[in-house]
Copies of this chain bind each other. A is one copy, B any other.
Amino acid sequence: MKPMTTLNEPRFDPHCLNKYATLMAAGNGYLGIRATHEESYSQQNRGMYLAGLYHRAGERDVTELINLPDVVGMEIEIDGAIFSLLSGEILDWRRELSFSSGEVARDVLWRAPNGRRYRIESRRFLSAAQKSLFAMRLSITPLDGAAQVKLTTGIDATQTNSGRQHLDDISLRVYDERFLQGVYRVQGSQIDVSIGCHCAVTHTVNRLSAVNRKLMQHSTALVAQGATLCCEKVCWIAGDPDATPDGLEAQSLAALKAAADMGYEALLTASRQAMVQWWRQSRVELDCDNVQDQQALDFALYHLHAMTPEHDDRASIAAKGLTGEGYKGHVFWDTEVFLLPFYLYTHPETARQLLRYRWHNLPGAQQKARRNGYQGALFPWESARTGEEETPEFAAINIRTGQRQRVASALAEHHLVADIGWAVMRYVDISGDDAFLQEEGGELLYQTACFWISRTTEVEGHLEIHDVIGPDEYTEHVNNNAFTNYMALYNVASALKHCPTALLAADFKANAEDFIARLRLPVPDMRHVLPQDDSFFSKPFIDLSRYQAHAGKQTILLDYSRAEVNEMQILKQADVVMLFYLQPGLFTPETQQASLAWYLPRTIHDSSLSKTIHGIVAARCHDPQTAYRFWREGSQIDLGDDPHSSDDGLHAAATGAIWLGVIEGFAGVSVEQGLCVAPRLPEGWRRLRFPLCYQGIRLTLELTPTHLTMTTSAPLTFRLYGRCVSFSGQGSWAYQDFI
């Protein structure tokens, strides 16, 4: 495998504390830990999250992913000065996240305000081998004389979600004068989280304290000039969002002791080994001029691994993964549409887990449908662990008027239901796991289809879907939204075709056939442009170039109210393009090309989900330059220069989209009645190599500007640029023979 790239923080910049705390966050699907510095900065937000562990702190509050007590912080005092990179001078600096191991390293040569120099180095990682294990290492070397060092670290339960406390501390203990353990209970529940740590600090005197929700070890040492004080901190963080495991405290303590015995290097080796298999099944390798392209892919895959709770099918992927508190840790359609495809093609068992999350939550979705007068399952727009609708009923109060506004998404952004139906079908088509349709998949398809059948309004003999919001949230409460209607049709048709009969109500078949026959579907106009909804073409056009220049910042809302935006041809992202991405086979190349061209000047790309998807469609429309530009811009949503774009967490969907853009866009992989490949590499990409899993067959694809080379674990038939090819073992084909 080509050597992995790294992510480097080029300099210490107080403005970027939270950006890099997000970008370099550690995660293993079970835990996420923000990459905050050991020393505290008032602007720096620490965070540690356990997948699926949510709580609502007050009646007027929203359920949120709990920010757990901190283990990263260390107060370092050297020769009387509290170590802070704001003071003194940084003579040398390196901070780097290794994507292959997940280890973050920082090496600083610091001249303190007293004029003396100290080398301060730290390492840390969250284990891929043992999900509860987090380990750190800090070393301090005084270069200009002996130094008196004080180090205070432990478990700090003063952490909150922006001032909201979710945990009671029910036990704070120290065992053998070395093992610190706190047990924290989610308020008003019986759910406990145990957090333990062991700090081995060389040649020090230690003191312990438990004051004001902080369980701390205070170490003091005199370090000779040139000698190195080393602190190795091993932490064990364990809990289950559904129930407190029997013997949680004792088992966590035993595990902590065992881990501490192994020591940092051995633990890191074990974690690195556990990652190898994952990278083997996932890595996209690239030879090209722009090294950032490979870095963006490694970054995306690193975080896809970090954010995905593959161990727990009652948890899913939050909109910010496990990297921050944005969107309160809620799950959106992002999971099915932007993140699931990666798993479908590389880790189908994980894709199945993610769909089982929705299946577990069917009861809540059915209740929501009932409450709103529909049948079937209306999945919550925002979802946490229980499947309840977690979107706040009202948006934040308008601070100028004091008015509360109902949140429109939970009321009308119903396409999520069809997106889940689509995801079920994608899973079955790509994995070949037909059995899934007999169980969870069939139920999901059926319940979502029933919702759509009940969601219609009859107008002049047609069935219409009224008052919806498509993915484009700048256009609200429209009728016959193209995205929604086509996706609903596919949902119902799939259910009709694939659901086991035993599941179906007596009248379902007739109702479904009627729905399919009579559903009004927007059709392309004379220019081949597919209308976004019934009213979009009649709205006025305005020049959006100044807003497009600040895509992602919603600057349009500084000049126009939401109501005004709604009445113009202004798109956050283009629904129709999103539809082409999901259902390429439904529309002619002409329609896709004409529509893409027509919608582009009307699209601001204020959604982080927008650009990469537009890029994929552009690639399919044989516009590789536009495709590459969009892909690159999409990959900069987190990696770009904006110091604050990622403050409250990563754009999780955007990482999925980075992978999607390459695989579905540039490699042209799709599954439509079988596996299809239609390479269209961007200029300068000399070689693209990646693994795929298709119907249980393990493939490796290697693309050059002229040739496709494939290895397969079983005989395979696929289409290259639409023409059938059968082979086994390894094959190689020149594109020119197929175009």
Contacts and interface: CB of A to CB of B under 8 A. Distances in A.
A736 interface: no
A165 interface: yes
Given A160-B158, A164-B165, A43 B82 contact: yes
A147 B168 CA distance: 47
Contacts of A157: 163
A397 B171 contact: yes
Interface stretch (A194-202, A208-216, A358-366): A208-216
A199 to B, nearest CB: 15
Contact of A15 (B15, B82, B396, B397): B82
B42 A396 contact: no
Contact of A212 (B75, B162, B177): B162
Interface string A156-196: 01111011110011111110010000000001000000000
Interface in A8-36: 14-15
Interface string A214-228: 110000000000000
Interface in A136-166: 157-160, 162-165
A1 interface: no
A170 B174 CA distance: 40
Contacts of A212: 162-163
Nearest to A165: B165
A402 B170 contact: no
Nearest to A162: B212
A84 interface: yes
Q: Interface size bucket, A side?
A: 35 or more
A208 B399 contact: yes
A497 interface: no
A87 interface: yes
Which of the listed residues A40, A171, A400 has the most CB atoms from chain B within 10 Å of its own CB?
A400
A60 B170 contact: yes
Interface string A40-73: 1111100000000000011111000000000000
A86 interface: yes
A213 B399 contact: no
A402 B174 CA distance: 8
A434 to B, nearest CB: 47
Contacts of A177: 400
B163 A159 contact: yes
SS of A interface (majority):
loop
Given A82-B15, A86-B86, A171 B402 contact: yes
A42 B75 CA distance: 10
Which of the listed residues A174, A212, A399 has the most CB atoms from chain B within 10 Å of its own CB?
A399
B399 A215 contact: yes
A187 B42 contact: no
Given A40-B42, A159-B163, A165-B165, A174 B215 contact: no
A160 B162 contact: no
Contacts of A213: 162-164
A658 to B, nearest CB: 28
A165 B57 contact: yes
Nearest to A14: B82
Contact of A158 (B84, B163, B396): B163
Contact of A58 (B44, B187, B208): B187
A210 B160 contact: no
Nearest to A84: B86
Contacts of A171: 397, 402
A43 B58 CA distance: 29
Contacts of A172: 396-397, 399
Nearest to A177: B400
A662 to B, nearest CB: 35
B168 A58 contact: yes
Contacts of A160: 158, 160, 163, 165
A161 to B, nearest CB: 8
A187 B174 CA distance: 33
A45 to B, nearest CB: 10
Nearest to A167: B163
B396 A210 contact: yes
A478 B86 CA distance: 55
Nearest to A397: B172
B399 A210 contact: yes
A157 B15 CA distance: 22
A166 to B, nearest CB: 9
A329 to B, nearest CB: 14
A300 B177 CA distance: 42
Contacts of A170: 60
30 contacts: A14-B81, A39-B42, A40-B42, A40-B43, A41-B42, A43-B82, A57-B165, A58-B187, A86-B86, A158-B160, A158-B162, A160-B160, A160-B165, A162-B212, A162-B214, A163-B165, A163-B213, A164-B165, A164-B213, A171-B402, A172-B397, A172-B399, A173-B397, A173-B400, A173-B402, A174-B399, A177-B400, A208-B399, A210-B399, A215-B399
Interface of A: 14-15, 39-44, 57-61, 75, 80-82, 84, 86-87, 157-160, 162-165, 168-174, 177, 187, 208, 210, 212-215, 396-397, 399-400, 402
Given A173-B399, A174-B399, 10 more contacts: A42-B42, A58-B187, A61-B168, A160-B165, A162-B213, A163-B165, A163-B212, A163-B213, A171-B397, A173-B397
User: Closest 6 interchain pairs by CB?
Assistant: A158-B163, A40-B42, A162-B212, A86-B86, A86-B87, A174-B399
